[in-house]
Structure 1
Amino acid sequence: MGALAGLKILDFSTLLPGPFATLMLADMGAEVLKVSSKSKADIVIDYPPFVEGTEISVNQAWLGRNKKTISLNLKDAQSIEIIKKLILEYDIVMEQFRPGVMEKLGLGYETLKAVNPELIYCSLTGYGQTGPLKMKAGHDINYLSRSGNMAQAGRKSTGPVLTNMQIADVAVGSMNSVIGILAAVHYRNNTGKGQQVDVSMYDGLIPFNSMDGAAFLATGKEPGREEERLNGGCIYDFYETKDGKYLSVGCLEPKFWNNFCTCIGRPEYIEGTVWPADIAEVKADIISRIKEKSLKDWMEIFNDKDVCVEPVLNLEEALIKDEHMQARKMVVDVVVPESEGKTVKQLGSPIKLSECPIEYKQGGYPIGYHTYEVIEQLGFTKEQIKEMEKKGVFR
């Protein structure tokens, strides 16, 4: 049994944050039923490439892993009745529409709570269910910008920089949804009461200002780019090597700094610490020193030394060749449904449970694959299902 066996989740979310949250839960044993529309585009799961020989994108195969999928036209009254039947069993809802959309469809929290008072209803949005920005559209870059995080990120010469990773979507939206849902499950186990979980990607980025944010609230001093401990103001930074590759240097503590200075042949810098008074001169010299050798040469020098120095790896190096990644099983081979047993490599779950390890049962199914199976289990006859099909209920 998975750790979350017995939890049944009805997932209305699209794009990345909600589907990744329910993927985490499904990997740990929750039964997730994804509600989609065959006629509505999703720029994440519709995005190529596709698994060879199938019409399933690699994103769909990944984000749909360990889930079932049905297709419903949520603007059809009969679809709403089907949902109300489903939540008597699937008593956790994950939705990612703007505030008010589910209410207009007849699927808002208060409406569904009246059907099942123990319902846990997670609403994941950009700016939350309240406040003047609640209806505003946004993407990861916008939440990062408005939250204050980008004001001190990047270089003085360039301003803020893109990271090619969805920090607000995954590190905030997905993870806080998982935390919120599991907290609500624990509360329901203790009290018998369900509740709505309001997760805002913007909200979750406010604490990401972390130590600089805490310092600003206490002093009123704005942090500047390349002026703070963790944004390039000290030696903690990236350094280009002779062959155009990069090292990450994180030697903040004295013992790491001492070892680093020794390894690069600059023991005279030890006393000045990782953030010396003459930081500009010291850093310029270290930049020049690191450029004298290739990445391979430097890693041989730093190997087995306690220095907090690592190479900046590309995806092939990080996801295919890295021995530690392989030992941690962070890339897994998963069977893709409807592909004659074909497997595809996927990003694995970061949660390691000793008593109930993660199982990768199958990749994501084509949209709506389980529709008839699920509808029949609700008690509808084959004739009723055929009639619904004609009416476009499953569109």
Structure 2
Amino acid sequence: MDTALKGLKVLDFSTLLPGPFATLYLADLGAEVIHVESPSRPDLIRIFPPYANGQATSHSYLNRNKKSIALDLKDPQNIELIKSKIADFDIVVEQFRPEVMKRLGLDYSTLAKINPRLIYCSITGYGQTGLYKDKAGHDINYLALSGIVGHSGRQDSGPPPMGIQIADIAGGSLHAVIAILSAVIERQRSGQGQYIDISMTDCVATLNSMAAAAVLAGETKQYAEQSHLNGATYYDYYQTLDGRYLSVGSIEPQFMSGLATILELPILLEKGASFDATDQKLVKQALQEKIKTKTCTEWTSIFAQLDVCVEPVLQLDEALNSALAKQRQWVIDVPLAEQSTQTEPQLACPIKFSRSKMSYKHIGKKLGEDSF
């Protein structure tokens, strides 16, 4: 078996999370990724704790399979060096604010004159155009402006702080990978590269999907706990006797009926399908009272063999060591260096092919470990 993206070469100027996560996927899929970093201003991912095997775990994961080149982009000689090599590359990924690469002389229009087949992807918070293009931002800001947290959370406690970077990864990284690989396919027909403008806010806004479709069709604005899937119905989390939580997603009739039978809650059959707020409040109260009678372990054992869409809320360490994680190979042991027998456990690439394999050559390298 061979890797799916063998033969593609990527020049990666990105830092932090969005760009590096995108190029991690490309590298896992077999592309050769050269990561260009500043020799004097280290990527914060390199110093962000915790640490293992002498370096930051986030760096070791996000930069696995990649080569590390240290170049000062303010040095004109290094700019010329990059230009002399650009014809060898298929893809450029960068994550600076708009106009930075142009000032450096490494913008798409400049490099495309040297390599017309070049696919050039810029990832920013707000895109290359518009009033927000030069503003700083982080994941929490993109989620706020996209409308996602505006109809999430609880009315009494407000928008929920998320435990992962949704806009950075689902907005920036994964949309960038989709766009880049689409451009690679298009280039097979046209013979030409192209420029890709990825705004993390633009992309994460599309994750509103069903809620946005309803609002755009003229439905009432959907705030927290006012629509079917954001807390207005019994589709929710319920606390167990020991302070843990169960997720209850039994909204289809067959699952609702099964849950009502198991829990001996006829009110679920009587009012569960109702969109009346009072009815749903009564159903949720009944569910909470029932679920509070047993521990999470007891409920998990009861629901383990039942097909009613009820699952325990796991802590991350529990999830990564669960039977599901082991059966689906969520974690892979990655060599500390090529040919090394020492390994570090990391999240595996979740894509599974029937023929192509994944690449797990080594964890993230030391700064400037490779030459250009």
TM range (shorter): over 0.9
Cα offset for 1:41?
A: 2.9
Who is 1:381 aligned against?
none
In the TM superposition, what are the counterparts of 1:369-388 in structure 2 within 5 Å? 369-371=369-371, 374=372
Counterpart position of 2:137? 138
2:228 is the counterpart of 1:206: no
Equivalent residue number for residue 328 of structure 2? 328
Aligned partners of 1:251 and 1:274 also within 8 Å: no
CA distance, structure 1, for counterparts of residue 293 and residue 275 of structure 2 = 23
TM-score calculated relative to the size of structure 1: 0.91
- Structure 1 match to 2:10: 9
Q: CA RMSD in A?
A: 1.4
| Structure 2 unpaired stretches of 5+ | none
Specify the code of the residue in structure 2 equivalent to 1:140. Answer: D
Q: Any residues of structure 2 matched to 1:154-173 within 5 Å, and which? A: 154-173=153-172
Aligned residue in 1 for 2:303: 302
Q: Do the aligned partners of 1:235 and 1:275 also contact (CA within 8 Å) in 2?
A: no
Bigger Cα displacement from structure 2, 337-346 vs 1-10: 337-346
Aligned to 2:356: 356
Secondary structure of the residue that 2:198 maps to in structure 1? strand
| Structure 1 partner of 2:62 | 63
1:181 alignment partner in structure 2: 180
Whole-Å Cα distance in 2 between the matches of residues 88 and 233 of structure 1?
55
Q: Which residue pairs with 1:386 in the alignment?
A: none
Report the count of equivalent residues: 369
Aligned 8 A contact 2:125 2:199 in 1? yes
Cα 1:276/1:117, change in 2 over 3 Å: closer
Matches within 5 A, 1:1-395: 1-52=2-53, 54=54, 56-275=55-274, 277=276, 278-320=279-321, 322-337=322-337, 341-371=341-371, 374=372
Q: Out of 212-221 and 10-19, give the one that drifted further.
A: 212-221
Contact 2:139–2:167 (8 Å) recurs in 1: yes
Q: Describe the shift of the 1:201–1:157 C-alpha distance in structure 2 as closer, same or farther (beyond 3 A).
A: same
Task: Provide the rounded CA distance (Å) in 2 between the counterparts of 1:341 and 1:60.
Answer: 20
Residues 313-343 of structure 1: CA deviation (Å, up to 9, x unaligned): 01221012x0111111111111113996431
Give the distance between the partners of 2:144 and 2:272, measured in 1 at CA. Answer: 32
Q: Quick check: 1:236–1:274 contact (8 Å CA) kept in 2?
A: no
**What is the deviation of 1:269?**
2.2
Alignment-mate amino acid for residue 182 of structure 1: L
Distance 1:33 1:275, change over 3 A: farther
Q: Give the letter aligned to residue 57 of structure 2.
A: V
Which runs of 5 or more residues in structure 1 are unaligned?
375-395
**Aligned mates of 1:302, 1:308 — CA distance in 2:** 9
Residue by residue, what CA displacement relative to the aligned partner does 1:252-276 show, whole Å, maximum 9, x if unpaired? 1111111111111113421433445
Secondary structure class of the residue paired with 1:293: coil
1-structure distance, mates of 2:167, 2:97? 16
The SS at the match of 2:326 is helix
Give the TM-score normalised by structure 2: 0.96
Aligned mates of 2:7, 2:71 — CA distance in 1 = 24
- Checking the alignment, whether the CA contact within 8 Å between 1:263 and 1:302 is kept in structure 2 is no
Decide whether the 8 Å contact of 2:18 with 2:172 is kept in 1: yes
Contact 2:300–2:312 under 8 Å retained in 1: yes
3-state SS, counterpart of residue 182 of structure 1: helix
Supply the distance in 1 between the matched residues of 2:58 and 2:317 (Cα, whole angstroms).
18
